[in-house]
Structure formats: structure tokens, C-alpha cells
Amino acid sequence: MAKKSENTSSVEKQLVAPQETIDDDAINHASSEEASTEPTVADITAFVETAQKLERELTSIIVGQERVIRELLLALLAGGHVLLEGVPGLGKTLLVRTLADALSLKFARIQFTPDLMPADIVGTTIVTEQADDTMPSGSKRVFSFQPGPIFANIVLADEVNRATPKTQSALLEGMQERTVSVGDTTRPLPSPFFVLATQNPLEMEGTYPLPEAQLDRFLLKILVNFPHAQDLMRIIDTTVGTQALRASKVATGEQLTHMIEVARAVPVATHIKEYAVRLLLATHPGNEDAPEKVRNFVRYGASPRGLQAMILTAKVRALLEGRFNVSQEDVQAVAFPALRHRIILNFDGLADGITPEDLIKVIVEEI
């Protein structure tokens, strides 16, 4: 349930490193060391209830973006990163911040700018004074690691395409490997770890479009569309009044990690897997099953990560739809956010104004 927020600044940290030095041993290793366990009925019940609460919290604050919220939940419960794309003012940042509010997780926001440096993200080693009685001065100077904002559970990479490729690539290792290497030390990131990046498709001047390798690391790319008139009316009612809405906590990081495990256990029939594989292969222009439009306008098709993204998010969608199995409709529904950033158009496609959504629609219709 939403509630008034009295301290909004406590959650949002803009380019602010964590105040305390994080001890390497204190970092949560839960995901890497825990053995996968069979979910129980209670786990499934908890999953459904928590997901329902979380969605309710988000929809009560973010008006007119139900599809975006659903897709964000799919990525969150599948344990993947999300790239949110939309024009300014549609509530991308608010959505991520509300999500962080609803989850008892450590949240960090990084505003990407051209002068942002990799060390500003991952952290750096600094010289600090440490008390030492043996020293005449009573202290000694030692090197200690100052973690960057990436050492949080939910990282909002705002306007990620405004930073230089060098800085953008600082996110690469963290997103894929969930570790950060500084100097000669590799440090694991906390679990759960989500990167929610936003980018503006309009103001392309002075930006650095994300390379394909980095785009591929986002589980889903969610397009934030402009709300309808009815939704705009509701936005007025909820945002320009005297009371500011704030999401209440509905889940902890541990619960979220467990929910991810529950979602992964959803069974997928062989013919559904085969269907997903056919969909993925159809995005490749060289494939014999690829539609004519794909052959004409696609340079590179989706990578195997696209297939993983489809199946993972389809599992979550199945649970959210009240089923315990993945259906063909689930795969079709998640194909758009899972594949749209993995299909690279050729010159003809770009020149003719073809969008990946057009191609995915054709693929879903023909396959």
C-alpha cells in the first residue's frame, strides 16, 4: 500500500558512494553458494502474494504504465537487468525509485553524464587513516577500497547513453558476472542485483548509443509509451495534490531471491522450448524459416541470451497469469521486450524506418 513518504532523499543517491566502507566479507554471497531447492507450496503461495502486492504498489503510483510495470516485474522476478526507453517525463525514474521503495533493498542512482568516470561507478582505492597504537602518531595510513554505487541491490543507471563507452563498459562486468574488478581484486556484488537503465531516444546529440554487446546484457528492453488521456487525468490527481504517494515495503531481498528461484522451477514443455527456438532462429536473416522481412532488413539476429530471456520471463509470466506451466502465449508476449534490442537492422531497415517490433510481429505471426 502506498503511503506518504517523509524522507525521500534517504533512498535516492545520486552519484553518491556508500557512506561506509564495505567489507568484502560482508557482501552477500547468497546466490552463488546456495544450492537450488525445490519450491514448496508455501513458496509458490508467497510468490503469488508478493508479486501481486508488488504490482499493486507500483500501479497505484505509476499511472497508465501497466504494461511497463508488468514487464519490469517479469525482468525483476527473472533476475535480469532492464533497459527502459522513453521520452523524458514518462516516469521511468519514478518507476525504478518506486520499485526500490517497495523492496527492502539497497538502492543507488547513477546519473550518467559525459564526464562520469568508471571509478565513479565501481569505486576506487583510497588512502585512509587507521588507528594504530604502535605508531607514534597513534594512527597509520592504509589503502582501503571505497565501493562505488554499483554495490547496491538496485542500481538506476539514468540516461545511460550519455556516458562515454568506457564508463558504460564499467557496468558490463557487474551486469553479467555480478562481480567488480578493481585493481587486482574481484569483488562480488550484492544479491539480488538489478541494473535498471534508462535512455532517451530523442536527444541523441552528444550521446553514445550502447554497443550491441552491452545491450545484450539487458534481459528486457521496455519501451515506455505516452499515457492515454484517461491516465493523464489520473496522473494529475495523484501527483499535483498536497500528498505525495510512496510505496510501502512488500518484500525483502531474500524474498526476492527466493521468488527468482521459484520462477525458475516452472516446467516448460518441449514443444514450447522448440517454439521459442524457432522464434529466435527466425530473427536471423540466414535462417530458412526467417520471414522475408527479416531477410531483407536484419543484419544480425538475436543471440542465445534472447532465448534465455524469453524462457525465463515466460516462466515468470506463467506464474503471474495463474498457471504453473509456460504456454506459447507467454513466449509470444515476452518475445517483444526480450528480442527488440537484440535484433540489429541493416542499412535498408534503418533507411525504410523498419522497427524491431515490426519484425517480431511478423515472426510471431508466421512462426
Q: Residues interacting with other proteins, by CB under 8 A?
A: 38-41, 44-45, 48-49, 51-52, 55, 59, 66-67, 70, 265-272, 320-330
Shortest distance (Å) from residue 288 CB to other proteins: 25
- C-alpha separations of 269 from 164, 261, 266, 326, 331 in Å: 43, 18, 10, 7, 12
Whose Cβ is closer to other proteins: residue 52's or residue 185's? Answer: 52
Beta-bridge partner residues of 223: 85
Residue position matching grid coordinates 561506509:
20
Shortest distance (Å) from residue 75 CB to other proteins: 15
Whose Cβ is closer to other proteins: residue 150's or residue 331's? Answer: 331
Whose Cβ is closer to other proteins: residue 51's or residue 354's? Answer: 51
- Cell numbers representing residue 297 in the block: 532488413
CA 159 centroid distance within chain:
14
- What one-letter code names the amino acid at 342? R
Whose Cβ is closer to other proteins: residue 53's or residue 178's? Answer: 53
Q: Under 8 Å CB-to-CB from 349, ≥6 apart: which residues? A: 296, 297, 298, 299
Detail the DSSP E strand segments found in 132-240: 139-147, 154-158, 179-182, 185-188, 194-199, 220-223
- Cell numbers representing residue 324 in the block: 504453473
Residue position matching grid coordinates 538506476:
156
Whose Cβ is closer to other proteins: residue 59's or residue 287's? Answer: 59
Whose Cβ is closer to other proteins: residue 156's or residue 260's? Answer: 260
Residue position matching grid coordinates 518475445:
335
Shortest distance (Å) from residue 5 CB to other proteins: 25
Shortest distance (Å) from residue 276 CB to other proteins: 12
- Cell numbers representing residue 187 in the block: 569483488
Shortest distance (Å) from residue 272 CB to other proteins: 6
Shortest distance (Å) from residue 59 CB to other proteins: 7
Shortest distance (Å) from residue 141 CB to other proteins: 55
Whose Cβ is closer to other proteins: residue 213's or residue 269's? Answer: 269
- What one-letter code names the amino acid at 250? V
Whose Cβ is closer to other proteins: residue 51's or residue 157's? Answer: 51
Q: Under 8 Å CB-to-CB from 307, ≥6 apart: which residues? A: 276, 277, 280
Whose Cβ is closer to other proteins: residue 250's or residue 320's? Answer: 320
Alpha helices (runs of H) in the chain, residue ranges in sequence order: 30-33, 41-61, 66-78, 92-102, 119-122, 165-168, 170-177, 212-215, 229-239, 253-264, 270-281, 292-297, 304-320, 328-339, 347-351, 356-366
d(CA 96, CA 241): 22
Shortest distance (Å) from residue 117 CB to other proteins: 41
Whose Cβ is closer to other proteins: residue 287's or residue 325's? Answer: 325
On whether the CB atoms of residues 342 and 216 are closer than 8 A, the answer is yes
Shortest distance (Å) from residue 261 CB to other proteins: 11
Shortest distance (Å) from residue 45 CB to other proteins: 6
- Cell numbers representing residue 34 in the block: 546456495
d(CA 16, CA 29): 24
